Amino acid sequence: MKKSITTFLKRPIKDSINRSANPSVTRASTILFNSMQELHKHEQRIKANKKISYYSYGRYGSSTTIELENILKELEEAYHVFLTGTGFGGVALAIMSLCRPGDEILVSDNVYGPTKEISEELVSEFNIKAIFYDPENFEDLKTKITKKTKMILVENPGSNTFEFQDLSEIIKLAKGKKILTFLDNTWGTPLYLKPLKIGFDMSFCSATKYLSGHSDAMGGSLAVNKKVFKKIMFFYKLSGYRMSADEAYLIIRGLRTLDVRLKQHYENTKIVINFLKKQKKIKEILYPYKPSSKNYKLWKKYYSGANGLFSIVIKSKKKSSVIKFVNSLELFGIGYSWGGYESLALLQNLRGNTKYTKIRRYLRFAKDEHIVRLHIGLEDPKDLIKDIKKSLKYLK
């Protein structure tokens, strides 16, 4: 019987020894073999970069991480999934495995700060050039392609300013020129968008966010097609990337409720946005919440759902009053990350002094406009609204 992905995520994992409904947490460095011959045979398969069903040494993973790899492989419809200790490790793994001196990478200008930093700063030390393109201008991307372009790195939507791109147009362009494609799909998750199915070579997701869902684990998932598998496997093995069995267990546990959590985040978000859109002090809501929203069509074209992460644009001559607004929220934590059970608020630094904050995606905002990113958690949205209402009075 063909199971839906929801049923698949909820099925018990039969542990043959413990008979438990969940996999055991296999913390392993040494893996034991029945004989030297068995060990050698296994090593040969690994050397030949063959896909393997168990590992020879804990650095490459254990039964718990393999279980997670298999779940994500099915969810992403991928050839293979590489797990990393943090989400960011997955971004670095893709770039460092595939790009070489002399190559250029095209990066959408709305990417997560450290993705911008690695593209701009670190790779230039290896003579790899990052060129940033405007995610709202496909012509800009087109004209920046050169003979040296190795990869197009997209984050969709941008996780601060929420631009959506026409993904199949990017794929068409890249395929015609034999350029590799990478999508940071942390916002959509593989439940709502399967990047490999629409033609991306790599689908990345920070498992730290919705996949684990409880703000207590870190991890990354880099799902790949056959074309890029060998090169990434080669680098993966030699770079020491891995995910611990404990984190893998927590992410498997989180995945059981991914669908119901996302639905609830979305329902709560719609209720909160319904309140926010009536507030005069809020100039814009960066989220595809109604058909006339800027990115609604592109969201609908590619995604089968949305979640709890969006930004609001506040118009105020006094930045200090925006800070006061954020500080006075009692039910919203102030902190990085998102995708956990809880609500969070963060004032984005639009005009900071570092070059990573002086980026195009912020240029369209006027000097008296401030972006506060909100993550709507699983609390009662009525309480969240009361909290926001009380804090709005600080905005001057």
Ligand X SMILES: Cc1ncc(COP(=O)(O)O)c(C=O)c1O
Of 304, 313, 297, nearest to 266 by C-alpha is 304
**Cα(225)–Cα(77) distance, integer angstroms:** 9
Sort residue 103 into left (φ over 0), alpha (ψ -120 to 50) or beta.
beta
**Cα(91)–Cα(198) distance, integer angstroms:** 20
- Radius of gyration from C-alpha coordinates of the chain: 22
Per DSSP, the three-state class of 367 is coil
Tell me whether residue 64 or residue 206 sits nearer to ligand X (CB atom). 206
- Tell me the window of 59-67, 82-90, 146-154, 384-392 that interacts with ligand X (CB under 6 A): 82-90
Please report whether residue 155 would count as binding ligand X according to CB under 6 A.
Answer: yes
At position 54, the amino acid (one-letter code) is Y
Please report whether residue 110 would count as binding ligand X according to CB under 6 A.
Answer: no
Tell me whether residue 61 or residue 339 sits nearer to ligand X (CB atom). 339
Please report whether residue 112 would count as binding ligand X according to CB under 6 A.
Answer: yes
Please report whether residue 156 would count as binding ligand X according to CB under 6 A.
Answer: no
Please report whether residue 337 would count as binding ligand X according to CB under 6 A.
Answer: yes
Please report whether residue 86 would count as binding ligand X according to CB under 6 A.
Answer: yes
Please report whether residue 349 would count as binding ligand X according to CB under 6 A.
Answer: no
User: Please, how many CA atoms are within 13 Å of residue 369, restricted to the half-sphere of its CB?
Assistant: 14
Q: Which of residues 174-203 bind ligand X (CB under 6 A)?
A: 184, 186
Give CA angle at 116 (113, 118), nearest 5°: 110
- Tell me the window of 83-91, 248-256, 292-300, 317-325 that interacts with ligand X (CB under 6 A): 83-91
- φ, ψ (nearest 5 deg) of residue 218: -125, 145
Tell me whether residue 170 or residue 309 sits nearer to ligand X (CB atom). 309
Tell me whether residue 63 or residue 195 sits nearer to ligand X (CB atom). 195
Please report whether residue 212 would count as binding ligand X according to CB under 6 A.
Answer: no
Q: Is the peptide bond before 157 cis (omega within 30 degrees of 0)?
A: yes
- Tell me the window of 38-46, 84-92, 98-106, 264-272 that interacts with ligand X (CB under 6 A): 84-92
Q: Which residues make up the interface to ligand X (CB under 6 A)? A: 86-88, 112, 155, 159, 184, 186, 206, 208, 218, 220, 337
